[in-house]
Amino acid sequence: MKQKVYIYKAFERFWHWMQAILIFFLAFTGFEIHGTLSFLGYQNAVRYHNIAAYAFIVLIIFAVFWHFATGEWKQYLPTFGNIKAQIYYYLFGIFRNAPHPTKKTVLSKLNPLQKLVYLGLKLLVIPVMVVSGLLYMFYRYPQEGTIEGLNIDSVGVIAVFHTAGAFLLLAFIVVHLYLITTGATVTSNLKAMLTGYEELEESEEHGSEIKNEQNKADKKEVIYE
């Protein structure tokens, strides 16, 4: 039996959509800086890219604080029990209407493969993007009336890391957009990230968990009314 559950909190949804908007905008302005596109003009593209980068860093800081304050960081702890079954499901099972190998719950929103991918993004790809971006912006900076420089022979290597990270991030987004359509219906995952509610299978193992989270959500709605 399925039950509607409040699974994605308000800040979680805000962070998700703001992150998506900023990543798309950074990619758009980044391609223009590289000369692939021509829309805003080089100077404007650089300026807007830098502004969006600062906004992205601020969002990351708030997201890190929220994850640790709420305990949501535990969602990304890797598990390897069903990872082979999950890979097989995405490669073959999903096209044969096979049942999903893992059950989503409020306390475990991500399947084993998602946990590994998201953990890699948060600990590797995004830090590389942020650090290389900051180095690229500040490898030369004003200091007491003169221009100082970091001990870097060329920004070429930094640019390579930054661009490689950007393409990895874009590859993730393409796969992510496809996987959005693989829910119970084509739009169910999208609706869940818009409203916060998703229909989950209730079982004896986590039925009480669903009810507890639903009661909390109902109380919040009463308070806001």
Task: Judge whether 67 lies within some domain.
Answer: yes
pLDDT at 198: 86
With a cut of 70, which residues of the chain have pLDDT below it? 1, 140-154, 202-225
Task: Judge whether 224 lies within some domain.
Answer: no
pLDDT at 220: 46
Number of separate domains in the chain: 1
Task: Judge whether 198 lies within some domain.
Answer: no
Task: Judge whether 31 lies within some domain.
Answer: yes
pLDDT at 28: 93
Report the percent of the chain where pLDDT is more than 70: 82
pLDDT at 25: 94
**Residue 37 sits in a domain of what CATH number?**
1.20.950.20
Q: Which domain range does residue 154 map to? A: 9-183
pLDDT at 87: 86
**139-153 tens-digit pLDDT:** 754 445 554 555 556
pLDDT at 90: 84
Q: How many CB atoms lie within 10 A of CB 30?
A: 21
Task: Judge whether 194 lies within some domain.
Answer: no
pTM (two decimals) = 0.77
